[in-house]
């Protein structure tokens, strides 16, 4: 690393420049943002493929946006991945209920 004040080489891990005594600039770690990739994959496999794929796309964007320093974009992608995961789960549950009702109605008609 180089000192920002004098330009001298500063060994990694040193917080003060050995040449001029200037403190090293410290950067805060980026926030941890959940990317919702696992729920998106599960929704795709078990419930609703179209909504799950959209959720996977948004979930995949979270880490790359964080790495680029776009925290607001990463939070928005995480929010959309979560929403699409819930939409896919809701669609899967709704379709399951419809299939159950249709199956019960079909078996009821066969009895009478």
For the chain, the structural domain boundaries read 1-29, 37-111
Beta strands in 11-98 (DSSP E): none
Cβ proximity of 110 and 104 under 8 Å: no
Q: Which tokens go with 15?
A: 């917080």
pTM over 0.85: no
- At residue 111 the predicted structure's pLDDT band, cuts being 50, 70 and 90, is low
Question: What is the average per-residue pLDDT within 59-68?
Answer: 94
**pLDDT of 32 higher than 80:** yes
**pLDDT of 13 higher than 80:** no
Burial 31-48 (b: 16+ CB within 10 A, else e): eebebbbebbeebbeebb
Instruction: Decide which of 82 and 22 is more confident.
Output: 82
């Amino acid at each position: 690393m180089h000192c920002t004040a004098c330009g001298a080489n500063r060994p990694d891990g040193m917080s003060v420049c050995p040449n001029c005594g200037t403190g090293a600039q410290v950067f805060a770690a980026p926030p941890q943002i959940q990317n919702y990739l696992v729920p998106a994959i599960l929704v795709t496999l078990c419930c609703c493929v179209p909504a799950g794929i959209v959720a996977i796309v948004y979930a995949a964007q979270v880490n790359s946006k964080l790495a680029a320093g776009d925290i607001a974009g990463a939070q928005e992608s995480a929010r959309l991945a979560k929403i699409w995961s819930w939409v896919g789960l809701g669609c899967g549950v709704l379709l399951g209920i419809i299939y159950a009702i249709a199956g019960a109605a079909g078996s009821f008609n066969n009895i009478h």
